[in-house]
A and B are shown apart, each in its own frame.
Chain A
């Protein structure tokens, strides 16, 4: 069955960088667009970034544009989010999510990885 497992979260100082990963299994990763969605503690869901099935096309929320980079390695079935110039406002659980093949919604989510930006 489909599994998405995030990793790489932790505590990082303001202004520093962190990369989180999402390991996919149970499906043909290279044929699906993938997204990152985050949730600040006690808050709602915020879309962060998306990448097309082959990594050729990416889009970002205004709040992270220029600081975050989404990428994927289809040979490793892994999605990444490189986060630079982190601020306290980036503190959140980061989820990866799979977009369905034909439709505009997510059918599978990972369990999330917590990123805490604090000095």
Chain B
């Protein structure tokens, strides 16, 4: 089972700042199998990034994903008020289980 560790647990930033969220896998994974989701309070998660670096439909270009092997990053170039939420990385490989990181809470400073 691939264990995903996200850091930091909580990130406090101001609108307009740059956010960098990390997701580290317990062993090397294919970039094709790494996705990021955003979850706002009281809502279901929604897809942000798939294949480590491809933006989902309708996702603004201030969101970008990068990385390979065991280290992956979600970057939000300039935070908007609606970006403050919890972010999860996910590994969905060729066989179960599917695993999620524990989440990074992005809060307004």
Q: How far is A99 from B51 in the complex, measured between Cα atoms in Å?
A: 14
Secondary structure call for the A interface:
strand
Q: How far is A104 from B99 in the complex, measured between Cα atoms in Å?
A: 12
- Chain B residue total in the interface (Cβ 8 A): 27
Contact A50 B103 (CB under 8 A): no
Secondary structure call for the B interface:
loop
Contacts of B37 in A (CB 8 A): 45, 106
Contacts of B50 in A (CB 8 A): 100, 103, 105
Asked if A109 lies at the interface with its beta carbon under 8 angstroms from chain B, I say yes
Which positions in B face A, CB cutoff 8 Å? 32-33, 35, 37, 39, 43-47, 50-51, 56, 88, 90, 92-103
Which positions in A face B, CB cutoff 8 Å? 35, 44-47, 50, 59-62, 95, 99-100, 103-107, 109-112
